[in-house]
Structure 1
């Protein structure tokens, strides 16, 4: 028994030697020189980018650009009026697009095959054709329908009704509705089906449940893409210049047609577009943070 206990408590003869060798190895490793890895691909890419940026800067510096005209026309009345028209068209077209998108998304999720077919056809048609083509079709609608109205009650000439403003609003808003419907549908599908069943179990109608329970939960999925669509709509309004809507790019073109300061006026328009998009991007980030915080609290309670 004594010998057995002595054997169990005894250390191997070479254990101390291994410990000394390990300590020596650690000391040798500690004295090794640390060599940083060199990323030559990154260095070359960075150098190429710097050279290209420098070349672009030199081109603008030595180009035929009168910078004083940029500052002069930045606050020109025609440019500011165009900026206001751009903002108005953005807000109205997005409002129309969101309204149509919500209605179309609900139709897509309906059990009625007719509603589903109409919604799918709408999305297919307006997502499958260019926006500029749709704008031109709306603007030239009088060639297909010379008059609008109800026979026997009232009729108006289409050319008198379909102004550049209305044609731009319908073209941009209806096109936006097709894209927004997919965003809203994805948000509605992200809500657990148990929420629908719970609303149905307490006697809620389908539309009432959508408004009070489903849509509020889907907003955290819907809001970020809608914010991106809003930013895109600001720039998309420039296409309305082809139908003579007096938005910012159209007014800038009218000015440089008269004074031949093409680059200067285009830079003025670009500065204002960047300013509006920057403000909207900041607002979008705040709204996204708000809904993300709400989602975090909800997951924490679960």
Structure 2
């Protein structure tokens, strides 16, 4: 990174849902304040690339359209930090990051309450799949040695790398003979008999990283049946309460314990569980209808 560049742009990508963006904005604002202070202590100025939206009560990028508009106003030669404290839809900013020319750093919080780290990993996967160069860091309070050393490295060089000695090629791994035999038998069965994998709303939540290229999947003998979550919901309405309760009783008998609360906005209740039981039944019926040997949503 050029030493003359002391301004870093901050991008905060969010959810598509207004309720989620508004409800999690406080966590994002707190994270941004910490990052701003840290960058200032290192001699850099962190500037938001897009404003806080008073009418919506948050400062997230809330759509792909908005993301493209934001990046159209960004100098492609200015370094960018994508700070994520909560869940985000990667496709909102993927187009802008693909064409960005300066160093990109994705940063996430480490929180058991807010899925910023999960959102960042989703974005990282999308960037990797798209062939975009970027660096990544994470922290709980953004003041630990690991984070600060990595941030200083990125500010000076435009890049930070992490050790990967623990990653090994499967070709170099020792696979037990029995496991290899079973795997070969399954692979042969898939290639000769083929298999259908049911996928509900491929690309849901902007998860470009989770879309398996068909031409690669074909080589394994697996083919997609593209399904709709609206179709899944309709099938749920056809499942009876008696059927859902039968599944629930089976789970309880098997040892599953449910901890219910009275605040239905934030706590689990039995009606939610029964709806989930209906969803499982509906998914299996759809799988039977389309001949799917596996079925699910990509995440």
Q: Same fold, TM exceeding 0.5? A: no
Which one has more relative contact order, counting CA pairs under 8 Å at least 6 apart?
1
**TM-score range, shorter-chain basis?**
under 0.3
Indicate the structure with greater strand content.
Answer: 2
Q: TM-score, normalised by structure 2?
A: 0.22
Indicate the structure with greater helix content.
Answer: 1
Q: TM-score, normalised by structure 1?
A: 0.22
